[in-house]
Amino acid sequence: MQHEPFTALAAVYDAIMADVEYDHWADFVLTYARDGGLEPAGASALDLACGTGGFTRELLAAGLDVTGLDGSAAMLTEARRRVPGVDFVAGDLRDFELGRRFDLVTCVFDSLNNLLTPAELAQALARCRAHLAPGGLLAFDVNTRLGVRELWEDDAVEGVAPLAGGGEVHYHWSHHHDPAADLGVVQAFCRVLGEDGETQEFIETHRERGYDPADLEPLLAGLDFARFEIVEYPDYAPPTADTPRVWVFAWAPGGDT
């Protein structure tokens, strides 16, 4: 019943996450990009930790030439089915090398929080910087330490979601904070009822480390960005001590930013 993270979950991920506002996030990122002089139409984009392609699809719809990268073969299988025509590749955020640079590099939905040490996060940010074209923009979000400690009200979410091919998935995800390791731990339980009446159950355990602006700033400052900003969604306001998730925008040198 116990599976590795983002394996069994891939088949039901889109059903459970149907309400995620990928379109609003894309507008948020692309508005910032346009304000900085980066026009999406015809630009190249690399969507890291793309999962099943929810955010990738929004970038594609905005006219970008998109490549998606993820470390889960199961999630990439769903992405290729869901967003045909996009080049989806397997890769690790800490050491990927694609041999080209992009105008826009994105990593959304707190994916970088899955890197459990500052050293791993630093590796990933360095790979992002190496894949930015001159004047290119890196955009990502992370849960703060507060956001990881207090992920959900009552530390659980549950529900029932219909599956595209018939049947439904019942899910109960519980969260706790491990103070010794300073990690958030989510146990994701799913019961999948197939159209044929067959039932499957699985559990995946996911861990996240929270990163505050004070953790991010020295890492970004050491990567030769022309400038960077850490803001709140959706109004680009400076974060406060109570901000559960921050967005980072960092420009590579060489453009009119």
**Per-residue pLDDT tens digits for 73-132:** 999 999 999 999 999 999 999 999 999 999 999 999 999 999 999 999 999 999 999 999
- Structurally, the chain folds into a number of domains equal to 2
Asked whether residue 257 is assigned to any structural domain, the reply reads: no
Please give the structure tokens belonging to residue 221: 């400052």
pLDDT of residue 257: 45
pLDDT at 28 over 80: yes
The reply to whether 104 and 192 lie within a common domain is no
- Comparing CA positions, the residue from 246, 73, 244 lying closest to residue 175 is 244
Distance CA 53, CA 55 (A): 6
Q: Is the peptide bond between 234 and the residue preceding it cis, with omega within 30 degrees of 0?
A: yes
Asked whether residue 9 is assigned to any structural domain, the reply reads: no
Task: Report pLDDT digits (tens) over 29-88.
Answer: 999 999 999 999 999 999 999 999 999 999 999 999 999 999 999 999 999 999 999 999
pLDDT of residue 252: 98
Task: Report pLDDT digits (tens) over 143-181.
Answer: 999 999 999 989 999 999 999 989 999 999 999 999 999
Q: Which domain holds residue 37?
A: 19-146+210-251
